[in-house]
Structure 1
Amino acid sequence: MKEAELIAIRRNLHQIPELALQEKETHAFLLKTVKSFPQTWLTIRTLPKLPTALLVKVHGQAPQRTIGYRTDIDALPVTEQTGLPFSSQHPGIAHACGHDIHMTVALGILDYFAHYQPKDNLIFFFQPAEESKNGGKLAYDMGTFTGDWHIDEFYGLHDRPDLPAGTISTRLGTLFAGTTEINVDLIGKSGHAALPQNANDMIVATASFINQIQTVVARNVSPTDSAVITFGLMRAGTIRNVIAGHAHLEGTLRGFTQKQIDFLQQRIRDIGQGIAASFNCEVNVDLNQGGYYPVENNPQLTQDFIQYMQGDPAVTFAPTGPVMTGEDFGYLLNKIPGTMFWLGVNDPDSQLHAPDFSPDEAALAPGVTAVVHFLEHRMAEKN
């Protein structure tokens, strides 16, 4: 696929962003595009229980493995401010995370292998609901990757604005943190501000809860490791002279390994129980991780990926550290070995999820070429 064709696809997708599990127009565009490719060794699959998902299997000549490639397809509730002539046509929704870039690269790779039959089987997964509602977990848990659609190793990319266009980057270990939504309700008894002995003040209880939570990372996580617990919302009380009998907190927990996240989740529950006992109140802690596990790259596959990219003279490879942002590809990598990597898109003055985020389309062609050549390398390796 020529660069001009990739750019045209990307701009079409950019104009039709849709939120999680609502990607009907995007799904239709993807399906139409895939059907325009040679169909000789393609099998297209849709999922009735996840109707905006799309899978395409490329049957290999002499398969010894099945390699999966995943791209996310949803967008964000952001009003675009790029001023581009092909800006979002859907008010209040934008591809501010670059999933239009992700999809275009996946289509370019698929187009190549639709013309040149691969040795191994390839499965392309166009996944809905990455930004919310954990579409990867939904697909996996309904048995999508079983039987003829079993995947032996999985790959996927995420665009990165602070890297030059076309640069490939990844690391051994965790690339993205795992995330957990924290919702806490503290229930006591309202009363008059002048008669605290007749009430049970949940603002005081909440203050103690938050202070104790802020010691969890500082005193339970090694200084050489990283984790974060942040509460960004608190609601309590109605007026200055009424003691609040209820408080509500919302926050997020992020960590680089699932073992660490499981431990920190339990510490939050334990502190909630302690506050309930100390303040004679009810504390309900709801922790929702869903499919947002840490993106923990498989050591063997990732080492092979890095060595290949470093050795390909056509690829610019850059080392990277882990980041605290989340990605639901982590759930799939928790079940199926694989690697996630960055594709540089050269927009250093903006950032992911920003309304003015505008990735450089010069990243598309080198991104496709790098992944195609890597997959051909993988298929030449003994199983």
Structure 2
Amino acid sequence: MLTTQQLSKIRRDLHQMPELALQEQETQKHLLQVIGQFNQQNLQVMTFSQLPTAIIVRIQGSHPVKTIGYRADMDGLPVQEKTNLPFSSQNEGRMHACGHDLHMTVALGILSYFSDHQPQDNLLFFFQPAEESESGGKLAYEQELLAGQLRPDEFFALHVTPDLPVGTIGCRLGTLFAGTTEVNIDLYGQDGHAAYPQRANDMIVAAAQLVDQIQTIVSRSIDPVAGGVITIGKLEAGVVRNVIAGHAHLEGTIRGLTQTMIERIDERLRAVAAGIAKSYDAKVDIQLNQGGYWPVENNPELTAEFIDYLQQTPQITYQETQPAMTGEDFGYLLAQFPGTMFWLGVEDRAQLHAATFNPREEAITVGVETMIGFLTAHMHRDEGEQ
């Protein structure tokens, strides 16, 4: 099993080589080198032409009744690092600002243990590219990487958070992360001279009315005790002060705690846009793109068992957390396979995606030991239920 010092070195090596979605070639090469040093007796290591930077490692169980999956995302962000750490990113304009270097390191730590201690059930470690964009989890599912012998019966994953003390495990029943949808809206009317508005069709006015009505969707169409939000973060229209704009472009996001809620917001947004088109005699083109960023809805039974394990294990500090409105494409995989995602506290003043994000490495060992302990207890519990 990898030592604390070895885990720290692996994390620092990975931190220096952040790569963007679907470009994780050096990261994959490094992961394969590390995995190649483990006991290979029960391991099957696979790469895939249809998703070239992904890795799946399958461990054959001693008396398997199911396959348990564990996912670790690989990609970095287009952020210029400003931590001044001696192991800062060596890739200009790229940084592991979301903690995926820790995610991969924790997965390697768990994998190294079970390579030496054959698990009862089959284990499947999925090193996933393209979480930050391109919906790598959805791509893997659609391209059937997680099918047949590689289909998990359950799936687990973690995400680091600077908002919890180092090593604290945060989780909850229900939704952990919201789902997100990108919104792009174009309104087409007729440009014209500012002095002759009757001869034009002003899309700034139409866009303003649309933005105003969008704000009523959550407040009047969504259960007030539930959570959802629509943000229009960009509006472009017009070229000069004395010309009426014949085109306006809006960009924003929808965030909701359940897929049903997101689909309801989508439906209302389309209806409101259609109403604006009719009211202003305009053409309104609306594009909604959710991709794989579905809500992370934890499976009730597995999550209850996981939380019970955390609460019953004295060396683990557990904290129930509230849903976060940030997005995560593990939600798409949880819509296909029952599973649980949880937070691992890394205690930092800087937030995720910040150029100064510097998570505490002590949390790595906590994540590794927590999952080794839980998976072992989980497999033994299932054995008792046979």
For the aligned pair, the TM-score class normalised by the smaller chain equals over 0.9
What is the distance in 2 between the residues matched to 1:201 and 1:360?
A: 53
| CA offsets 1:210-230 (integer angstroms, 9 cap, x no match) | 000000011111221111000
- The structural deviation recorded for 1:105 is 0.2
Amino acid at match of 2:188: I
Aligned to 1:303: 304
In the comparison of the two structures, how many residue pairs are matched?
A: 382
Q: Does 2:333 match 1:323?
A: no
Q: Does 2:84 match 1:79?
A: no
Partner-residue secondary structure (3-state), 2:325: strand
What is the distance in 2 between the residues matched to 1:30 and 1:356?
A: 25
Q: Does 2:14 match 1:13?
A: yes
Partner-residue secondary structure (3-state), 1:325: coil
RMSD: 0.6
What is the distance in 2 between the residues matched to 1:150 and 1:183?
A: 35
Unaligned runs of 5+ in 2: none
Partner-residue secondary structure (3-state), 2:126: strand
Partner-residue secondary structure (3-state), 1:158: strand
Aligned to 1:110: 111
Aligned to 1:252: 253
Q: What is the correspondence of 1:1-383 to structure 2 with a 5 Å cutoff? A: 1-347=2-348, 349-382=349-382
What is the distance in 1 between the residues matched to 2:100 and 2:161?
A: 11
Amino acid at match of 2:363: A
What is the distance in 2 between the residues matched to 1:166 and 1:113?
A: 21
What is the distance in 2 between the residues matched to 1:381 and 1:144?
A: 28
| CA offsets 1:125-144 (integer angstroms, 9 cap, x no match) | 00000000000000001111
Partner-residue secondary structure (3-state), 1:7: helix
What is the aligned-residue identity percentage?
A: 58
Any runs of at least 4 consecutive aligned residues in structure 1 with deviations exceeding 6 A, and if so which? none
What is the distance in 1 between the residues matched to 2:65 and 2:42?
A: 16
Partner-residue secondary structure (3-state), 1:51: strand
What is the distance in 1 between the residues matched to 2:223 and 2:116?
A: 51
- The structural deviation recorded for 1:314 is 1.5
- The structural deviation recorded for 1:54 is 0.4
| CA offsets 1:33-56 (integer angstroms, 9 cap, x no match) | 111111000001111011010000
What is the distance in 1 between the residues matched to 2:142 and 2:176?
A: 23
Unaligned runs of 5+ in 1: none
Amino acid at match of 1:9: I
Partner-residue secondary structure (3-state), 1:179: strand
| CA offsets 1:312-353 (integer angstroms, 9 cap, x no match) | 112111111101000000000000000000000011x11000
TM norm structure 2:
0.98
What is the distance in 2 between the residues matched to 1:234 and 1:291?
A: 25
| CA offsets 1:150-176 (integer angstroms, 9 cap, x no match) | 110000000010111111110000000
